[in-house]
Amino acid sequence: MVSLRKVLQDAYGGWLGPEIVDDFRTYADTCFREFGDRVKDWITINEPSVFILLGFNNGSFPPGRCSKTIGNCAYGDSGTEPYIAGHHVLLAHGAAVRIYREKYQPKQGGSVGMALSTAWYVPMTSSDADIMAVQRAVDFLIGWFLNPVVFGDYPSSMRMVVRDRLPHFTPAESELLKGSVDFIGINYYSTYYASDHVPPEDEGISFFSDMRCFVSGFRHGISIGPTAASSWLYIDPYGIFNVVLYISKAYNHLPIFITENGVDEANNLSLPLNQSLDDYQRVQYLRDHLFHLNQAIRSGADVRGYFIWSLLDDFEWISGYSVRFGLYHVDFTTLKRYSKASVRWLTEFLLK
């Protein structure tokens, strides 16, 4: 069976082609029409920065495009394609929101937003350069999509560095995007150190070289927080307070949903089942993150909901079945499910 993604990729380059905007509008219209009597809160796009950067900058995810200086890709340009794909994602989102608001929202009374992959950043040093690097990191990885859907254009820091490689919105497109979210979904897992970084010429131009920022989970050999099974996940509960409060203050106190928050353990097949269910690191992770999320609410953030990733152990991107994010342990052979310690803790927490 040929996937729809491959058909669109072969037809016009997928997210690289402007044709994707009309096709996405048609797809969204179908969803609104068929499921709008049951679905009230819609997310048009989930984690656009993730699939764009891994697919069009690094080339490690489909469609596997990148510059030769960045990875082993047959095709691609890491200095232009992430921005083109991101531009079309934003226009597709805007087109979907317009048709929902004009055609369906008056009758269905729902809301529509976008869910973003976020992280928080701490300056590697107290220098002005590293403090500015933190703001660039936030602008490139959060403002890249939030600025257009709230204010109608990209962050000025992106335009200053990327210049004309960053596409421009027409006045009509800017108006289409401005205010095109009723809420923001935040997927938060980790915090990193950030420092100013001037890329060497032989590094090649890419999204991350444009960011001019070195990001790491370590400073002087010490990690910013306990590590999880996934190499990119450093546990810092205070980070959810920072990212929620920053987005709330910077983007007009929009309603916020925590659409993903969680931690994983390695899938250790030699571990007895009863030990696999003792996920006390997850219990501590959830307890601490909910505490700091409550502090953000008390500080003025309009947080409407909180979702844990994930209810069940699942097939986790290219990590497959090697890590477990679930509240419920899944035997991947029999598909039998077993509740972990985190389920008991969460049940007691919610009943208090």
Q: Which residues are catalytic?
A: 47, 260
Least Cα distance to 139 among 151, 125, 126 occurs for 151
Q: Which residues contact 227 (CB under 8 A, 6 or more apart)?
A: 217, 233, 234, 235
Question: Residue 196 and residue 164: Cα distance in Å, rounded?
Answer: 23
**How many CA within 13 A on the CB side of residue 245?**
14
Question: Residue 277 and residue 273: Cα distance in Å, rounded?
Answer: 6
**Strand pairing class (337-339; 328-330):** antiparallel
Question: Residue 198 and residue 209: Cα distance in Å, rounded?
Answer: 8
* Cβ neighbours, 10 Å, residue 234: 22
* Cβ neighbours, 10 Å, residue 250: 17
Q: How far is CA 65 from the centre of its chain?
A: 20
Place of tokens 């997310």: 43
Residue 269 token pair:
């097949």
Residue 311 token pair:
């209810």
